[in-house]
Structure 1
Amino acid sequence: MNVTSPFSLTVLAIVALSFLGLPIGHAMIGGSILYLLLAGLDMGTAAEQLLNGMYSNYILLAVPLFILAAELMNIGSMTDRLMSFCNAIVGRFRGGLAYVNIVQSIIFAGMSGSAIADAAGTGKMMQQMMTRDGKYPGSYAAALTAVTAVIGPIIPPSIPMVIYALVSDASIGYLFLAGVVPGLLMALAQMVIVFFDARRKNFPVEAPTPLRELPLITRRALPSLMMPVVLLGGIYTGATTPTEAAAVAAAYALLISTVLYRSVSYSDFYRSVLASARTTASIGMLIAGALVFNYVITVENIPQTLTTILQAWDLSPTGFLILVNVILLVLGCLLEGTTILLVVVPVLIPTARALGLDMVHFGVVVVVNIMIGLITPPYGLLLFIMTRIAEVPLRDLVRDTLPFLWAMVGSLVLITFFPGLVLWLPRLLGYQG
């Protein structure tokens, strides 16, 4: 590739601006405008691509609504009641709080759709519960909280899957269904690691919740437990689109927290809306930058060129999936997940289609790779978040994360080579792929 070509200079400009501290979304917009200038194209194309991409995609509205639902859930007592329910179910075993951490991530996965929201919300609470009175080492609690948060965007709803659907035209409903078994498989792998750690490190056994109290605890948590049912039931019965279901989820969280539990003040609501707006603006700028940069990639025929190169290598579908796994796992160490979804994945999709890969299966493999990237050294975003929340050295956190990381890579291998694990539930409910 010519290092003085407009595209090469654009990539160098994006990398340089990012290293100088400019957000990656802004860097992509700036680099793309430079490309239009050097290539002699209409500079207004950048604004046209941005506006058309942002305002013509109804599906994108689901992102801020899922974020708002997670914020409303965290400020109310929904979180406390669900924690009590999880503790009553699995807290009685050795290492009980570690199992509670995993189970609460499975339950909260049906509500927020964001790994970062799970780690910063319920994850922070679990960190405090596990380290109270020195029950668990701070680094182990932080590592477990980071890896369990990864489950959230795999089990529906999932913001990364919404973004993948945007770039691939795959069905969001079937993508959500396809994430259930892989998410549970990863949770099972984490529980196996906890099982051996609990005995090797002699983790404490929590006081068991009397069985006579279980109906009361369940009844108190039932409105919160019904949120995934309301959300996913609307989608799969055809009553709502995924975007409408996200709005229903946000409204349901607000209704339960304010009317039923009466645990949200006006100031709490204001702060949750403000936090949601900030997170949405951050993701929105990243999507906007990617839309403009993807136009540059299209003009340069990068997807077609890559498809031609890979076809020349005569890769089988399995060989291509192995290559994709390696590429995404490496990129996950360096780049933020949304950037990979919006910039790298669209380049890989034409080849995946040409090889006859199922777009729903491919989407789940992509999302799982990106989620593992959140906890992969040296730049896993969740590692940095938990280092700040738990106030533990990054070195210790990485050490305690590695066994879980290898177990999750093992789960990735299974869903890569056995598509039936991913597609079984969608096919059960009518998917023809």
Structure 2
Amino acid sequence: MNQDIAILILAISFFGLLLLRFPISISLAGSTLVTIMYLDLPWVVVGQRMIQGINSFPLLAIPFFILAGQIMSEGGMAIRLVNFAQLFVGSVRGGLALVNCVACMLFGNISGSAAADVSSIGSVLIPAMKKKGYDADYAVAVTTSASIQGVIFPPSHNLVLFSVAAGGMSVSNLFMAGIVPGLVLMFTLMIISYFIAAKRNYPKGDPITLKMVPKIVRDGFLSLMTGVIILGGILSGWFTATESGATACVYAFILTFFVYKDVPLSRFIVVVKRTFRTVAMVLFLIAASDAFGWILAYLKVPSMLTDAFLSVSTNPYIILFMINILLLLIGFPMDMAPMILIMTPILLPVATALGVDPIHFAIIMILNCGIGLITPPVGTVLFIGCALGKVPVSQATKASWPFFAAMCVALLLVTYIPQISLWLPGVVNGYGVP
């Protein structure tokens, strides 16, 4: 069988199914099956690879992280974190925009999801910003861009996905590696938010009285304890990532339904059903991606791509720049999870062949994929923000360009200064220390 023809069949069948509007998981599995038929390999290979793809203990952490985030999103967690953020940055010019950036970072440390971030924080702050005189498209642009912090900050289930797609990296090291880049992203977004707010003369935030501070601090501390449980449990060695996720679910359940009591206990059934739907989609996508990744490896696509990149240059800075451009372009038409699962087995060998640390590359890739969430035509986070702000996608996209540029600056800093990603894993876990 001709290898080039097989690769062509794989590509045409995959993109053909996508154009026919099949779900991407079906497109992955279907194109793999068609290619295996051409190669005259046993069909059972597809099923075996799909089962093997989800037969992974670290994957158990994802349902727990998703459930914990869903529980916290259901309650009044967002408004409490907004108030907590307002203590620090709410009093300056364009204060609500800066509060938005900080609140998204704090909520991302709980949910690990950009979609949950924009849904929860956006439902509170987008109407509040519009009411205070901020332009609606600016409010949407700030919120959607700031929510991308959720894909980098632990407990990001996207980092767990990368670990699985990469063949099993330390989730603890990946979580540690995401913290400083997440802060870099937050500060770049805060800077551009402030300059735009000052130029347009947006108002300062409402002052917080001294009497309100103790309650705001208490509520903020209780809310953030979910992230502390996850990170503290993993780093202390008390829990694995899966066990910390399960413990966080118990804490989130007690806090939401018995301490805050913002929603009735009967809503828990709705939360569980919503979590099951999300988890089922994620696991099927992982299974299909594993089969797709296997056929890519069988056809030696990763090594071919490595040779192609190295034929252009052996300079890692140039290759990383090319990889960034490639991932940003792929992020326009492809959602984040399939992008991680498909591109990681292809591009990770390229990066490691150039001497790029795998943990460093993980953060580069996750940030690239996150930026794609705010770009049409498949910008999931952008669409959620537009729905909340009642703003046309075209208008919000135009308003997002300054924030897109700021995120690209953060991406370049993370790409070309490896210690931004590697310093904390080295300090906390001794990663990279001989």
- The interval holding the TM-score normalised by the smaller chain is over 0.9
Partner of 1:360: 359
Partner of 1:153: 151
Q: CA deviation at 1:312?
A: 3.5
User: C-alpha distance in 2, partners of 1:344/1:5?
Assistant: 21
Pairing of 1:90-169 with structure 2 (within 5 A):
90-132=89-131, 135-168=133-166, 169=168
User: C-alpha distance in 2, partners of 1:309/1:196?
Assistant: 42
Q: CA deviation at 1:245?
A: 1.3
User: C-alpha distance in 1, partners of 2:381/2:354?
Assistant: 34
Q: CA deviation at 1:404?
A: 0.8
- Contact (CA 8 Å) 1:2, 1:8: kept in 2 or not? no
User: C-alpha distance in 1, partners of 2:257/2:376?
Assistant: 41
Q: CA deviation at 1:314?
A: 4.3
User: C-alpha distance in 1, partners of 2:215/2:313?
Assistant: 61
Partner of 1:337: 336
1:186-232 residue CA offsets vs partner (Å, 9 max, x unmatched): 11111111211222111122320013421232123321122221110
Gaps of 5+ in 1: none
User: C-alpha distance in 2, partners of 1:101/1:206?
Assistant: 11
Distance 1:3 1:391, change over 3 A: farther
User: C-alpha distance in 2, partners of 1:315/1:278?
Assistant: 44
- Deviates further, 134-143 or 98-107: 134-143
- Deviates further, 139-148 or 201-210: 201-210
Partner of 2:306: 307
Partner of 1:405: 404
User: C-alpha distance in 1, partners of 2:4/2:241?
Assistant: 44
- Contact (CA 8 Å) 2:313, 2:319: kept in 1 or not? no
Asked if residue 294 in structure 1 is aligned to residue 286 in structure 2, the reply is no
Q: CA deviation at 1:4?
A: 8.4
Gaps of 5+ in 2: none
1:232-258 residue CA offsets vs partner (Å, 9 max, x unmatched): 000101111112111112221111112
User: C-alpha distance in 1, partners of 2:371/2:355?
Assistant: 25
TM-score by length of structure 2 reads 0.95
Pairing of 1:26-105 with structure 2 (within 5 A):
26-55=26-55, 57-105=56-104
1:358-405 residue CA offsets vs partner (Å, 9 max, x unmatched): 111111111111111112344432222222222211221012111111
TM-score by length of structure 1 reads 0.95
Secondary structure at 1:431 match in 2? coil
Q: CA deviation at 1:3?
A: 10
User: C-alpha distance in 2, partners of 1:141/1:370?
Assistant: 22
Fraction of identical pairs, as percent:
35
- Contact (CA 8 Å) 2:6, 2:38: kept in 1 or not? yes
The one-letter amino acid of 1:142's match is V
Secondary structure at 1:248 match in 2? helix
Pairing of 1:171-320 with structure 2 (within 5 A):
171-320=170-319
Partner of 1:23: 23
Secondary structure at 2:93 match in 1? coil
Q: CA deviation at 1:104?
A: 0.6
Partner of 2:5: 5
Secondary structure at 1:152 match in 2? helix
The one-letter amino acid of 2:404's match is L
- Contact (CA 8 Å) 1:26, 1:285: kept in 2 or not? no
Asked if residue 422 in structure 1 is aligned to residue 416 in structure 2, the reply is no
CA RMSD of aligned residues (A): 1.9
Secondary structure at 1:304 match in 2? helix
Secondary structure at 1:266 match in 2? coil
